[in-house]
Chain A
Amino acid sequence: MLLFEDPVFASRMLSLLTLSIHAIFATLGVGLPLMIIIAHWLGIKKNDEHYLLMARRWARGFVVLVAVGVVTGTAIALQLALLWPNFMEMAGHVIALPLFMEVFAFFFEAIFLGIYLYTWNRFDDQRKHLLLLIPVAIGATMSAFFITTVNGFMNAPTGFQIIGGQMTGVSPIEAMFNPATPTKAAHVISTAFMTSAFVLAALAAYRLLKGAQHVYYKKALHLMMVVGLIFAIATAVIGDFAGKYLAKHQPEKLAAAEWHFETMEGAPLVLFGILDDEQNVRFGLEIPYALSILAHNHPQAEVIGLNEFPQEWHPPLFIHYLFDLMVIIGVWLVLFSFVYWWGMRRKWTIVTSRWFRRLIVASGPLAMLAIQAGWWMTEFGRQPWILRGVMTVEEAATQSPYVGHLFFFFLALYLILVIGVVVVLRNINQRFPLEQDLAHEGGERPWITK
């Protein structure tokens, strides 16, 4: 089996596994603090206990997700050096700064999260307690930013020169603010906010479908759909910038994602389809000029095709499907949440109907799926490079023959963790039903502390 024979392939698969699991928890870890802040702040501003309660109930689930996020994050932090020692030895000279700062941001977040969670009853003034959450949100967002700059560097290495195989003339700041950083970081952060909002909206919609009547769920649903809409629009706009970045700096990734082989002006955008052996797209949906517009904002602009690059530098062509999946879900979420928002303003009955709520329930997992598809596309789209143009994945990986075996140990570990999280999150809902939380209002509040 390839996994046991080839340490390079095994290292790739283990990294894929760890990062895919981590992406779930990291996305929610970055997005949820902002949602909790919004609810907490609205609760204070409107003097509405329901929003304060939302903050508390979300915070409970957030703890569980953070715990597992820390665990999987620790795993990937260590695996970077264990699986890719040659890469870390080389790139460490240039990207240590953002990695280091990411840990600081994480540190900051960890400290204030601990304080926030265990001091619900220690402030008479809820505003003081809200203040504690701001460093948590800043820390979470900043760590997303710093770690994304590292990934940006791998896509667009800058800030050093290679002379005789050695990296010299290093500029840590230039490496951090490489050409990929602005669009990548903005896209990652806005999708994290968007996804968290849709996941929370999905939970509220699920409760309502299950027969819950309480106005609390309607408030939660409405708030999160509106926040989701805002960040879905932001994500789409930033996604467009990201496409333009690719056209300029990583044309082979865009070309592979779009199955665009010949350089041409007025390039069409292909949706779906199957590729045959002669690079002909069959059953595809072709939108004329769209790729030129996506890449350069001009219908006649020239878009570089994949055939301009040597065969061994081609990314795998299946990233086309991942790109389609991400974009389709993104567009759907924008339109869908817009219909919801408009419908609520217009008091349309369909937006409160059962089938519409089922669609809301689906939107949470869909957003998460788009996150995964997006990361897979960007990472597979960088093949065969680990540092584009500098170091290939092959050169970077460990030579240890045991990676294939470790893959299964980690697979088992993550399975247990994911199942555990699902079970625990369900338990929380049973142990703290809304009615019980509401009954505690004004009285003693055993929210988090036991």
Chain B
Amino acid sequence: MDYEVIGMTVLWTFLFGYVIVASIDFGAGFFNAYSLWTGQHQVLSNVIQRYLSPVWEVTNVFLIFFFVGMIGFFPSTAYYYGSALLIPLSISIILLAIRGSYYAFETYGSKGHRGYAFLYGATGLVLPASLSVVFTISEGGFIQLTERGPVLDYWTLFTSPLSWSIVVLAVAAVLYISAVFLTWYADRGGHSQATALFRRYALIWALPTIVTAMGIVYELRNHNPDHFASLLNLWWMFAISLLFFVASVWLIWQKKYYGTAFLLLVGQFAFAFYAYGISKYPYLLYPYLTVYDGATNEAMAIALIVAFVAGLCLLVPSLYLLLRFFVLDDQYVAGKK
């Protein structure tokens, strides 16, 4: 296999990891704020805090990992995306800063400060929107090459139905993924009220997620016909994804096997995410940059892959340990440790 393809697969996998863990994180922040507003804070906040406090930093690393890996494997992306995305990504940095500092300030500072909790919840919805801009832009048509380097055409971006459908999908998916995970998590700890509430959120957000996902495929037909055609070739992957979706919603509806439901959800997003990724091949930025002309030299690619394998040997057992302590330990989840 080409180094480029290995690099892309690695990065896409980490981006997928980030999508799942960050969705849980962003969504949890939103539900936390929402429960303050509706007066159900007592029920939810403990469950949310239990999960988030030890893992939020790890969530953050997934993003940096993807970002640094991208520049490592494909240095040209730094030029194209770096030049064009100064403002959207700077906004993301500021929003991430609000979230990151929340953990520090909330744990020891103004305990239960409502304003900060709302701000934190709001960032959970704005961040997926600001980060998903990258996906929109990669479809082409939003960046112009000028003497000053690649420049983002904001007007086209803000008036494009494609960019808005991607934003809506990002927000809906965040709330859906998060609700399903938290249903399972709360159920494990025996927090029955919280389980019921999260289950309701999961069912509410299931439909918008699947509808907007399909809407985007439709939008792409007008925006980027090449991409649309290659998406159709992978129809079977989307079909499996849909099957997983139906099965996981059905389980949640039946109030049983929440763990399996969450795994099915991960499978659902995995199939859709990889199908989307494969269909984009070979473009990193349509039509300027492909995987092949953006790739790093062979020596660096080999070094990166070696470092990656060695790094995984350290990370996988460590991540498992983290899960053992804070997710798979029923005593901890129940609040008895």
Contact = CB atoms under 8 A, between A and B. Distances in A.
B322 A67 contact: no
Interface string A104-127: 101110111111011101100000
A110 B104 contact: no
A409 B94 CA distance: 9
A263 interface: no
A78 B81 CA distance: 11
A82 interface: yes
A93 B100 contact: no
Contacts of A168: 297
Contacts of B53: 114, 118
Interface string A51-92: 000000000100110111011111101110111111011111
A73 B330 CA distance: 34
A406 B90 contact: yes
Contacts of A77: 64, 67-68
A103 B101 CA distance: 20
Interface string B69-101: 101110110111111011101101110110011
A74 B59 CA distance: 12
Interface of A is mostly: helix
A121 B337 contact: yes
Interface in B197-245: none
Contacts of A427: 108-110
Interface string A384-415: 00000000000000111011001001100100
B79 A88 contact: yes
Contact of B297 (A79, A170, A410, A421): A170
B71 A99 contact: yes
B71 A81 contact: yes
A144 interface: no
Given A74-B100, A172-B299, A409 B90 contact: yes
B115 interface: no
Contact of A97 (B97, B149, B307): B307
A171 interface: yes
Contact of B314 (A70, A99, A104, A167): A104
A81 B81 contact: yes
A408 to B, nearest CB: 12
A431 interface: yes
A112 B321 CA distance: 9
Given A108-B314, A402-B86, A403-B86, A90 B75 contact: yes
Nearest to A175: B300
Interface in B294-331: 296-297, 299-300, 303-304, 307-308, 311, 314-315, 318-319, 321-322, 325-326
B58 interface: yes
B293 interface: no
A66 B97 CA distance: 12
A107 B83 contact: no
Given A122-B337, A172-B300, A428-B108, A114 B87 contact: no
Given A104-B307, A111-B319, A122-B337, A170 B300 contact: yes
A309 interface: no
B105 interface: yes
B65 A103 contact: yes
B235 to A, nearest CB: 36
A96 B97 contact: no
Contacts of B79: 85-86, 88-89
B64 A111 contact: no
A86 B82 CA distance: 9
A194 interface: no
Nearest to B310: A104
B72 A100 contact: yes
A2 interface: no
A424 B104 contact: yes
A379 to B, nearest CB: 20
A1 interface: no
Given A71-B100, A106-B64, A100 B82 contact: no
A208 B228 CA distance: 70
Contact of B83 (A66, A73, A85, A135): A85
A94 interface: yes
A177 to B, nearest CB: 13
A88 B83 contact: no
Given A85-B82, A399-B148, A74 B72 contact: no
B104 A96 contact: no
A337 B318 CA distance: 39
A92 B75 contact: yes
Nearest to B148: A399
A173 interface: yes
A66 to B, nearest CB: 7
A400 B148 contact: yes
B300 A111 contact: no
B270 interface: no
7 contacts: A82-B85, A85-B82, A100-B304, A103-B65, A104-B311, A107-B58, A420-B101
Given A97-B303, A118-B53, A172-B303, 19 more contacts: A67-B101, A68-B104, A70-B60, A75-B93, A81-B67, A82-B85, A85-B83, A88-B71, A96-B300, A100-B308, A107-B61, A111-B58, A111-B318, A114-B54, A114-B322, A117-B54, A168-B297, A399-B83, A420-B104
| 7 tightest Cβ-Cβ pairs between the two chains A and B | A92-B75, A96-B72, A67-B104, A88-B78, A85-B82, A399-B148, A81-B82
